[in-house]
């Protein structure tokens, strides 16, 4: 077994056995919370500008992003885990085991990604992009 597969397997087992909630606050403002509920992980992004602080290659296009999401969804599904991504408490995406895509399968070419709300996915993408712009200006 290669090291990456071993790491993913170990992480999956940890996620399944831990329950609780982790909240990240910046300047007394909640930016992200992660709830671990057995085989379900809920990531609620309240302030996507935090992603602007990470070094990233902005040349990553839509198809590269879909390819990464597809691989993540397939990996989560194989481990029996569902990741729900929320934007300010509203469902945006579900990846992994419990994803039930409809028309999104035509775009993503996988049944492991469910677009819960096109509106929330679009807003989340805009929030991340705006956060990166603000971070660049302050550097």
The pLDDT score that the predictor gives to residue 89 is 96
Question: What pTM value is reported for the model?
Answer: 0.79
Q: H-type helices in the chain, by residue range?
A: 3-17, 62-78, 104-108, 118-138
The pLDDT score that the predictor gives to residue 10 is 85
The pLDDT score that the predictor gives to residue 71 is 82
Nearest to 128 by CA among 9, 32, 7, 19: 32
Question: Any residues with CB less than 8 A from the CB of 95 and at least 6 apart, and which?
Answer: 69, 72, 73, 76, 82, 83, 85, 112, 113, 114
Walk along the chain (139 residues) and give the pLDDT tens digit of each residue: 777 778 878 888 888 888 999 999 988 999 999 999 889 999 999 988 777 655 555 545 555 666 777 888 888 898 899 999 999 999 999 999 999 877 656 565 678 888 888 899 889 888 888 777 765 665 5
Residue with tokens 């969804």: 73
């Amino acid at each position: 077994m290669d090291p990456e597969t071993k790491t993913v397997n170990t992480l999956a087992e940890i996620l399944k056995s831990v329950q609780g909630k982790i909240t990240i606050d910046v300047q007394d403002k909640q930016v992200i919370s992660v709830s671990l509920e057995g085989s379900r992980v809920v990531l609620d992004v309240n302030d996507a500008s935090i992603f602007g602080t990470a070094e990233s290659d902005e040349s990553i296009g839509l198809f590269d992003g879909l390819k990464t999401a597809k691989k993540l969804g397939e990996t989560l599904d194989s481990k029996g885990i569902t990741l729900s991504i929320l934007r300010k408490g509203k469902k945006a995406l579900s990846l992994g085991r419990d994803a039930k895509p409809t028309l999104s399968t035509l775009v993503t070419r996988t049944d492991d990604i469910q677009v819960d709300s096109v509106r929330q996915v679009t807003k989340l993408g805009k929030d991340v992009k705006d956060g990166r712009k603000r971070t660049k200006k302050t550097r």
